[in-house]
C-alpha cells in the first residue's frame, strides 16, 4: 500500500485494489492519484492485492480496478469501476452528499475494518 499514515481516520477514504501485473491498473494509477488533489483531505490508497493479500483476504478481487470508497468509517461503494477519472469523480461526489448511505456488503465492511486497523 502506498500512502502516508495519518494519525486519525480520514472522512473519505478511497482505496483502489489492483495488481502490479495489470496493464489497466498501471494506466489508471496516474488518474487515481490526480483526484487526490481535488478531494483533499480525502485519503487515497493503492493496494496491490498480491502484496497485501493478508489485508485483502478473504475478498476475491476478480476484475480491475476495484474501488472501495469509505465515508464515516463505512463502505459506501465497493466494486469494479471503469478506469475513467470522471466516473470516479462522480462516485466520490455522490458519496460525499448528506444522503449517501453505507452499502450492505459484509465483506466490504470487514475490509474497511481491516484497512482502518492497518492504517493506524
Confidence of residue 22 (pLDDT cuts 50, 70, 90): very high
Q: Which residue has the cell 444522503?
A: 99
- Pick left, alpha or beta for residue 63 (phi over 0 → left; psi -120 to 50 → alpha; otherwise beta): beta
Going 97 to 113 to 105 to 44, the CA torsion angle's sign is positive
pTM reported for the whole predicted model = 0.84
pLDDT in tens, 76-112: 999 998 888 999 999 998 887 777 788 888 999 999 9
Give the CATH architecture of domain 12-119.
3-Layer(aba) Sandwich (3.40)
Cα(90)–Cα(78) distance, integer angstroms: 14
| Domain-wise residue ranges, the chain | 12-119
pLDDT of residue 96: 79
77 with 68: CB under 8 angstroms?
A: yes
Amino acid at each position: 500500500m502506498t500512502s502516508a499514515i495519518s494519525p486519525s481516520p480520514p472522512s473519505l477514504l478511497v482505496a483502489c485494489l489492483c495488481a502490479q501485473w495489470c496493464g489497466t491498473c498501471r494506466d489508471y494509477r496516474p488518474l487515481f492519484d490526480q483526484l487526490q488533489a481535488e478531494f483533499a483531505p480525502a485519503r487515497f490508497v493503492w493496494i496491490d492485492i498480491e502484496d497485501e493479500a493478508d489485508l485483502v483476504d478473504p475478498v476475491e478481487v476478480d476484475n480491475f480496478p476495484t474501488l472501495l470508497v469509505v465515508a464515516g468509517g463505512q463502505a459506501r461503494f465497493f466494486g469494479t469501476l471503469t478506469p475513467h477519472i470522471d466516473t470516479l469523480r462522480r462516485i466520490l461526489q455522490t458519496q460525499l452528499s448528506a444522503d449517501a448511505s453505507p452499502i450492505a456488503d459484509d465483506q466490504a465492511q470487514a475490509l474497511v475494518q481491516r484497512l482502518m486497523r492497518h492504517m493506524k
